[in-house]
Amino acid sequence: MQDASSASVRVLTSADTEAYRSVRLQALYEQPPAFGSLPEVEPNLSETAAKLAKSNDRCFFGAFQGEQLIGIIRISRYEAPNEKHRAYIAGLYVLPSFRCQGYGKALVREALRWAAIASGIRRVNLTVVTQQEMAIRLYQSFGFHVYGTEQETFSRDGQFYDEYLMTLELNSDNDHSVYQKGQLNDC
pLDDT, position 35: 81
Whether 128 and 164 have beta carbons less than 8 Å apart is answered as yes
What does the alpha-carbon distance between residue 160 and residue 34 come to, in Å, rounded to a whole number? 11
pLDDT, position 81: 87
SS3 content of the chain, % helix, strand, coil (to 5): 35, 35, 30
* pLDDT tens-digit profile, the chain (187 residues): 555 556 799 999 999 999 999 999 999 988 877 787 778 888 888 899 888 988 889 999 999 999 999 999 999 999 988 999 999 999 999 999 999 999 999 999 999 999 999 989 999 999 999 999 999 999 999 999 999 999 999 888 888 999 999 999 996 444 445 555 554 444 4
Give the closest residue to 106 by CA, choosing from 18, 180, 173, 46. 180
* Cα–Cα distance list, 58 to 79, 84, 90, 114 (Å): 10, 11, 11, 9
* Cα–Cα distance list, 133 to 40, 51, 163, 185 (Å): 27, 29, 12, 14
What does the alpha-carbon distance between residue 106 and residue 31 come to, in Å, rounded to a whole number? 20
The identity of residue 163, as a single letter, is: E
Q: Which domains does the chain have, with CATH numbers?
A: 4-180 (3.40.630.30)
pLDDT, position 178: 54
pLDDT, position 6: 61
Enter the pTM of the model: 0.88
Whether 10 and 114 have beta carbons less than 8 Å apart is answered as no
